């Protein structure tokens, strides 16, 4: 989608969606008021004001897909205006990823996120920067194929099949072959579902999806020094890239990006609320 396409989508579809209020879902009158004022600011082209108001809501712990979506619209509007600031597209990508985490069925947010990533990719291609998408580690890729609950169901079915197979195998000779088959299938499903379910649970509890919200984040070691032994391009995580946040320590963030693991300045990545 061309840059003009992103702009038209922002102005036509995005602002129309952002015109709604959160009066029914806001916990107090103050968030609703801030949201409405931010919406008016977006409609008037005062994107900087809208960003400030919506970020203030986020800082206060207010989480809602409409607020995240409108924050993305505000950042996109600012990115395509004279008010633009470095990292606006990355922050828009983060807000849209947050919208989808909170409301997975939001096809409009998904379409707009694809458009933002395409624009970031074209911008980096013009400067010869690193790719926006990195292949995830194989363990994360496999466990991510199915929800954690589904792996649990697979393990439970395997346990049931194993129990039935044992009963058939040792209680009646005529059912020896079916029993052995049920034991084999059940054992496989139990090991597969159990191990992958445990791994998925471990990933969920020890890491959080995050997005790079600066032009580029350079990978560092734990002391804050640039990583050695890799090409300069391999040490750079581009704006808008989805990473896995492992921990924060002493102003740094420990992240996983593709097969690479390193530290970046803490403010260069932002967690995706609602992803757990």
Domain boundaries, the chain: 3-127, 140-206, 208-271
Is the pLDDT confidence value at 222 over 80? yes
Inter-residue contact 63 to 273 (CB < 8 Å): yes
Q: What average pLDDT does the structure give for the chain?
A: 82
Q: What is the CATH number of domain 208-271?
A: 2.30.30.40
Tell me which of 226 and 253 has the higher pLDDT: 253
pLDDT digits (tens, 9 = 90+) for 53-109: 999 988 888 888 888 999 999 999 898 888 889 999 999 999 999 999 999 998 888
Q: What is the mean pLDDT of residues 4-26?
A: 42
pLDDT digits (tens, 9 = 90+) for 187-204: 999 999 999 999 999 988
Q: What is the mean pLDDT of residues 159-182?
A: 79
- In this prediction, residue 23 carries a pLDDT of 32
pTM: 0.79
Q: What is the CATH number of domain 3-127?
A: 1.25.40
Q: What is the mean pLDDT of residues 128-140?
A: 73
């Amino acid at each position: 989608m061309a840059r003009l396409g992103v702009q038209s989508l922002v102005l036509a579809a995005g602002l129309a969606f952002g015109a709604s209020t959160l009066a029914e879902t806001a916990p107090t009158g103050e968030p609703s008021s801030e949201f409405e004022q931010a919406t008016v600011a977006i409609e008037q082209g005062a994107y900087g004001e809208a960003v400030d108001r919506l970020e203030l809501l986020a800082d206060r712990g207010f989480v809602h897909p409409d607020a995240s979506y409108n924050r993305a619209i505000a950042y996109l509007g600012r990115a395509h205006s004279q008010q633009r600031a470095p990292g606006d597209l990355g922050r828009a990508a983060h807000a849209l990823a947050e919208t989808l985490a909170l409301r997975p069925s939001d096809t409009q947010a998904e379409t707009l996120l694809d458009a933002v990533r395409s624009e970031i990719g074209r911008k980096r291609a013009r400067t010869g920067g690193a790719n926006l998408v990195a292949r995830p580690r194989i363990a994360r890729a496999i466990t991510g194929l199915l929800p954690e609950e589904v792996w649990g169901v697979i393990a439970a079915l395997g346990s049931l099949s194993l129990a039935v197979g044992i009963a058939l195998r040792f209680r009646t000779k005529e059912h020896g072959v079916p029993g052995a088959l049920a034991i084999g299938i059940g054992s496989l499903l139990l090991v597969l579902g159990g191990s992958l379910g445990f791994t998925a649970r471990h990933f969920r509890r020890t890491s959080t999806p995050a997005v790079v919200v600066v032009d580029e984040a350079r990978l560092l070691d734990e002391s804050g020094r640039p990583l050695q032994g890799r090409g300069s391009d391999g040490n750079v995580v581009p704006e808008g890239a989805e990473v896995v946040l492992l921990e924060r320590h002493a102003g740094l963030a420990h992240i996983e990006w593709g097969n690479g693991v390193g530290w970046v300045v803490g403010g260069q990545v932002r967690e995706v609320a609602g992803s757990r």
